[in-house]
Amino acid sequence: MVPRDPAQPHRPASTLELFFDLVFVVAVSIASAQLHHALSHGDFVHGITSYAMVFFAVWWAWMNFTWFATSFDTDDWLYRVTTIVQMGGVLVLAAGIPAAFEHGDFRVPVIGYIVMRVAMIAQWLRASRGAGELRSAARRYAIGIAVVQVLWIIFLIVPSGPPQIVAFVICALLEISVPVFAEYRMQTPWHPHHITERYGLFTLIVLGESLLASANAIIDASHELESFVPLISISALTLAVTASLWWIYFWAPHHRAITTFASSLRYGYTHYIVFAAAAAFSAGIEVELDVLTGVSHLSNIQASFTVTVPIAIFLLGIWWVAIRENADRVVNTVVPLGAVVVLLDAALPIPVAVTALVLIAIVVVLVLHSPVERRS
């Protein structure tokens, strides 16, 4: 297991990586469903806080594997087996999301992380044997991951409520500090096209969740409404919004955004917000349908914010991390301004329709303005 060539031509995502992503379809779906139920019942603070915590666990599990794979993927039998073990850990994590979300009980997610971490530490130790001058970095990864995992076990004794939130934030900050600790002297190689393709594939997962969630919600709601017109309208608008978000995300040449270690950290960590917002959008669509069928007693404005806030966050996040430095003045004005307008749409009588029009307008601007060369 030696470091991969970061300049290797034609480095697409492997079938093993695509297979690995399937377990995150399950995890993201469960996290989004829990957020939907919390928001639909008006439990905004607890719902958003719990969602941020469980989605961090899901996102970080994916991050750990993805960045290791871009540097040391061998695709031999042992690598495949350890990857499948990590998939099992993700499924355990997913099974524990409801209890973590509703009661602050993170025992099952932590067990899932232990399974993943045993395999991940073994991967880093194996990599250290053939990493040459990167041996120290690989070992620091193994040590850092092991130490933080011990802290997560200790985290289980912290009572739920504010103390648990504070402890979670501390452990999460230590988690995202491990790559800085491991690579402060010498960085492991990453393939810019490969790693950004992997992020793009995860984006498709969270955007696909919006289509799946809206379809399932419409099937359920069809038994409650006499007319299918409102359902068809929301379905069409959801497709238009989701397609626009896809278009906006993939407009920028993402590989230009990770040219240095600092920029790779910014790109990787900002995607937590982007991914979480995209998955939360699906929950917002389901909340809108709950209000339409009388299942939820939220006001129209409250329900609208569950849709517009995630979209605005998604737009600002991807503009900041990928679009901003590859766009001209027009695009750099339209995208953030569009995010603000989307956020204000919640006060309008037909917010989803207006939001769709705003996003389509942004797409039109992007079609007319191609990416520019990155500024120095």
pLDDT tens digits, one per residue of 68-98: 999 999 999 999 999 999 999 999 999 999 9
* Dihedral of alpha carbons 272, 209, 247, 281, sign: negative
CB 283 within 8 A of CB 213: yes
Residue 374: band (very low, low, confident or very high) from pLDDT cuts 50, 70, 90: low
Residue 122 has pLDDT above 70, yes or no: yes
Residue identified by tokens 């397609």 is 243
Torsion of CA 27, 31, 34, 35, to 10 degrees: -160
Report the percentage of the chain scoring pLDDT > 70.
Answer: 96
Q: Exposed/middle/buried for 10, CB within 10 Å: 0-12, 13-18, 19+?
A: exposed
Residue 223: band (very low, low, confident or very high) from pLDDT cuts 50, 70, 90: low
What is the C-alpha separation between 352 and 346, in angstroms, rounded? Answer: 8
Which pLDDT does position 170 carry in this prediction?
Answer: 97
What is the C-alpha separation between 142 and 120, in angstroms, rounded? Answer: 8
Which pLDDT does position 107 carry in this prediction?
Answer: 96
Residue 222: band (very low, low, confident or very high) from pLDDT cuts 50, 70, 90: low
According to DSSP H, which parts of the chain are helical?
15-40, 44-72, 77-95, 97-103, 107-130, 135-155, 162-183, 192-221, 229-249, 261-293, 300-318, 329-344, 351-368
DSSP code, position 53: H
How much is the pTM? 0.93
Residue 211 has pLDDT above 70, yes or no: yes
Query: Nearest CA to 337 among 372, 305, 312?
Result: 312
**Buried b / exposed e across 264-293, counting CB within 10 Å, b at 16+?**
beebbebbbbbbbbbbbbbbbbbbbbbbbb
Residue 226 has pLDDT above 80, yes or no: no
Residue 376: band (very low, low, confident or very high) from pLDDT cuts 50, 70, 90: very low
Q: Per residue in 145-161, pLDDT tens?
A: 999 999 999 999 999 88
